[in-house]
Amino acid sequence: MKRYAYPNLADVPMSAVMHALADPGRLEIVRQLLQQVGGECACGEFCESLSKATVSHHMRVLRAAGLIQHRAEGAKSITFLRTKEVEKRFPGLWKLVGRKGGKI
């Protein structure tokens, strides 16, 4: 599996995080991860309505925003949230995103 470079959360501007979450597809991915028991999920299990290429693109954006990280597991790439780091840099973000109710 590929090795990525993950940004230091301190260097991620809030606008970048907002931009990452501004796409309904990406927001859905993050919410799916939030609901996951271990906070993990394989890439292919997201957004079955989108092509592999598109999902891969979304992952890149979320990665650049410092929100997710990957772990190789055989041929699979397991995605998980950078829970603690993000919470420290942007307190309340996870709670906000995970909130239910209202439209999308």
Per CB under 7 A, residues contacting DNA are 1-2, 19, 22-23, 25, 42-44, 49-61, 70, 72, 74-77
Select the binding partner of residue 89 from its own copies, DNA, none (C-beta < 5 to 8 A, by kind). its own copies
> Is position 13 an interface residue for its own copies (rule: CB under 8 A)?
yes
Determine contact, residues 40/79, Cβ cutoff 8 Å.
yes
Q: How far is the CB of 39 from DNA (least distance, A)?
A: 15
64 binds, among DNA, its own copies, none (CB under 5 to 8 A by kind): none
8 A C-beta contact, residue 90 and residue 31: no
Residues 15-54 interacting with its own copies (rule: CB under 8 A): 15, 18-19, 21-24, 27
Residue that is written with structure tokens 């989108």 in the block: 50
Binding residues with its own copies: total (CB under 8 A): 26
Site membership for its own copies, residue 74 (CB under 8 A): no
DSSP 1: -
Cβ 39 vs Cβ 33: under 8 Å: yes
Burial class (CB in 10 A: 0-12, 13-18, 19+), 11: exposed
